[in-house]
Amino acid sequence: MIRRLTGSLVGALTIFALAACGATPTVVPPVPEPTQDAAPPAAAGPTCDNATQSYAPTGLPGPDDLPSGSTMAAIKQRGRLVVGVSSDSYLLGSRNPQTGVIEGFDIDMAHAMAKAIFGADAQAQLRVISAADRIPLLEAHEVDLVVRNMTMTCDRWEQIGFSAEYYRSGQKLMVRKGSGITNLDTLAERRVCAPRGTSTLNQIRELAPGAELVPADTHTGCLVLFQQGRVDAITGDDTVLAGLAAQDPYGVVLPGDAFTEEPYGIGVPADQVDMARFANAVLERMRADGRWQASYDRWLRPTLGEGQQPNPVYGRDD
C-alpha cells in the first residue's frame, strides 16, 4: 500500500460525487412525500435497551415491484438514491487517486442499496459528508441514507433510524512508534485526536479523562495533525485506523483487543421505517448470495483478518 496525499483527500469533503460518472449536482431535492401515510418515527431513546435492534424486513421487492407510496418508490421516481459517505476513510470509503472513484467496504453497501431500487447496473449518488454532518443531513432529508461507519447508539435512535448491524468494529489507538503510549492508562496529558460529532470522541473522554482531546473535522484531519507532531495519538474504529496507518510509515495501531464495541448501522431518516426494513432485506440478500463476504474479503480481511456479517437483531416497534 502506498502513502496517500492527505491534502487532496481533505479537499474532497465539500463535493458531491457520482461514483459512476463524477456528476456534481449542487442541489439535492428531498424525496417526495409518500402518497400513503408514512410510518411513524422510530421508538424514542429511553425505551432502547439494545441499539443494534432494528426493524424486521418484510421481503425484498424487485425494482419494478416497489410498493406504491413507499419511500423506495419515491426515490426511484426521483431517479437517484443519495447516500452520505466518507471519501477519506481508506478501506471504507476513499477516493482512488488513479480513477477518482470513491470506493471501499461502505461504498459497496451503498451501491447494493441503489441496485435493489434501480436494478443491477445502478450506482448510488455519493454525497461526501463529515461525521458531524451525518445526523443533521438525515434529519433534514438531504440524504436518503448514510453509510459512513456510524455506530448504532440508543441516543442516536432518538434522532434517526438504523438498519440492522452490518459490521462490528471496535475502538483502538494509533500512536507513533516509540511514543511510549501502550494503552489507555498511558494517555494522561497526551494529546489525542478524534473527529467532532463522533461516539469515538465521547468514549475517549470517559475512558481516558487525563488525556487532552484535540477534535478535528475528519480522521484525515487527525492524520495531518499527527504527521505535524501536534497530537500524540489518534483514536477511532479499528477499520479507520488501519487505513490511516497504511498511509503513515511511523504510525502503528496498538495490538490487542479493542476497548469498545462499535456496531455499524446504515442510517435512515427516523420517519422512513419502510426504508430501514428494505435495507435490512438487502443486507439479508447480501448474506445469502455472498456479496457481503466478498466485499469484506476485498477491503478489510487483508488488514483485520477473518470476519463475517453480524447476525441481525429484529423486533423494534414502528
Q: Could you tell me if 134 and 23 lie in one domain?
A: yes
Report whether 225 contacts 231 (CB < 8 A): yes
Per the DSSP assignment, residues forming a β-bridge with 127 are 16, 84
Q: Could you tell me if 86 and 183 lie in one domain?
A: no
The pLDDT, as a whole number, for residue 39 is 40
CATH number of residue 229's parent domain: 3.40.190.10
What is the pTM (predicted TM-score) of this model? Answer: 0.77
Instruction: Establish how many alpha carbons lie within 13 A of residue 21's alpha carbon, considering only the half-sphere containing its beta carbon.
Output: 6
Residue 94 lies in a domain: yes
Span 32-88, pLDDT tens digits = 444 333 444 443 334 689 999 999 999 999 999 999 999 999 999 999 999 999 998
- Phi, psi (rounded to 5 degrees) for 135: -70, -45
Residue 141 lies in a domain: yes
Going by the DSSP 8-state scheme, the letter that residue 306 receives in this structure is -
Going by the DSSP 8-state scheme, the letter that residue 12 receives in this structure is G
The pLDDT, as a whole number, for residue 44 is 39
Quote the CA–CA distance of 147 and 127 in Å, as a whole number: 10
Backbone φ/ψ region at 267: left (φ over 0), alpha (ψ -120 to 50), beta? beta
Last residue of a domain, one of 225, 253, 281: 253
Residue 258 lies in a domain: no
Q: Could you tell me if 100 and 181 lie in one domain?
A: no
Domain range for 211 is 171-253
Quote the CA–CA distance of 199 and 177 in Å, as a whole number: 26
Residue 297 lies in a domain: yes
The pLDDT, as a whole number, for residue 3 is 40
Quote the CA–CA distance of 290 and 35 in Å, as a whole number: 35
Span 72-122, pLDDT tens digits = 999 999 999 999 999 988 999 999 999 999 999 999 999 999 999 999 999
Quote the CA–CA distance of 164 and 34 in Å, as a whole number: 23
Packing angle of the helix pair 71-78, 105-118 (nearest 10 deg) = 90
Quote the CA–CA distance of 91 and 84 in Å, as a whole number: 16
Residue 279 lies in a domain: yes
